[in-house]
Amino acid sequence: MQQDTNTAITEQKLPVMEHFYTIQGEGFYQGHAAYFIRLGGCDVGCVWCDVKESWDADAHPKYSIDEMVNWVVDAQAPLAVITGGEPLLHQLDGLTTALKNKGIKTNIETSGSSPLSGDWDWICVSPKKFKAPLNEVVAIANELKVVVFNKTDFEWAEKHAALVNNQCKLYLQPEWDKSAQVLPLIIDYVKQNPKWKISLQVHKYMNIP
C-alpha cells in the first residue's frame, strides 16, 4: 500500500502557469531569494487580479512533482513559494514532501478559501471578499496579508486579524493600481494601529517577476 501511495505521488502532475527564480517582493519574506511556482486554477476571481490568466487550470501545461522540484534544485533556491491562482485547489502533500526532502523551505500564498494540504514552513493567507477564507486555515496562518482596495478593507482586515494566532504577522498591502490613493490611508491606519505592518510589492519597483 505504501508503494502504491508513493507511486501516486510521483506520478501526480499539477498545472503550472509560470515558474521563476526571483526575489520575494511582499510580506514577511520580502527581499529573500525564492523560487516561485504559480499553479493554474482559481475559483476566487478577484476583479483586480493581475494574473487572471492563471484562473483556468486547463489552460496550462501539467508537470510532475519531480520536474517541479528539479527547477528549484537546479536554481539552488533555498525557498519555494507555491502561489496561484489558488494553489489549495490542488492536493499539495506530495509536492511539499518532495521539496522538503531536498532541504528546501516551503511557503504558500493562498486566499485560504480551500482546505489546507501540504507541509508548510510558512503559510501566508490573503483573505478575499470574493470567496471568504476558511476559519481553520486563517487560524494557523503565519502571515495575514490583506490587500487594501478601498476604505472598507480595513474592517475586513480586522475581522480576520481577530481569527489568527498570537504569533501571526499582520500586513496591509495597497492594491497596486490604486496605491496612490490607498497608501496614504494605510500609513495613517498603521500609525494608529501599530500591530499592522505595511507590505509593498517591491518586486514591481525593481521590475522583476
> Quick check: 177 pLDDT over 60?
yes
Give the model's confidence band at 1: pLDDT under 50 very low, under 70 low, under 90 confident, else very high. Answer: low
Residue with the three cell numbers 493600481: 177
pLDDT digits 0-9 by tens, 156-168: 999 999 999 999 9
Contacts of 9 (CB under 8 A, 6+ apart): 65, 93, 94, 97, 98
Residue spans per domain, the chain: 15-205
How far apart are alpha carbons 62 and 43 in whole angstroms? Answer: 19
- pLDDT on residue 130: 83
Q: Are 14 and 62 in contact (CB under 8 A)?
A: yes
- pLDDT on residue 50: 79
Contacts of 121 (CB under 8 A, 6+ apart): 105, 106, 107
> Quick check: 193 pLDDT over 90?
yes
> What's the whole-number mean pLDDT along residues 22-48?
94
Beta strand extents in the chain (DSSP E only): 13-23, 33-39, 62-64, 79-83, 105-110, 122-125, 143-148, 169-174, 197-198
- pLDDT on residue 8: 54
**pTM (predicted TM-score):** 0.93
- pLDDT on residue 9: 59
How far apart are alpha carbons 170 and 27 in whole angstroms? Answer: 9
How far apart are alpha carbons 143 and 127 in whole angstroms? Answer: 11
How far apart are alpha carbons 105 and 103 in whole angstroms? Answer: 7
Helix (H) or strand (E) holding 46: none
Count Cα neighbours of 105 within 13 Å in the Cβ-side half-sphere. 11
- pLDDT on residue 10: 60
pLDDT digits 0-9 by tens, 118-155: 999 999 999 998 899 999 999 999 999 999 999 999 99
- pLDDT on residue 39: 97
What is the CATH code for 15-205? 3.20.20.70
- pLDDT on residue 51: 86
User: Of the ranges 36-50, 76-90, 109-123, 162-176, which one carries the lowest mean pLDDT score?
Assistant: 36-50
Q: Are 44 and 85 in contact (CB under 8 A)?
A: no
Mean pLDDT for the chain overall: 94
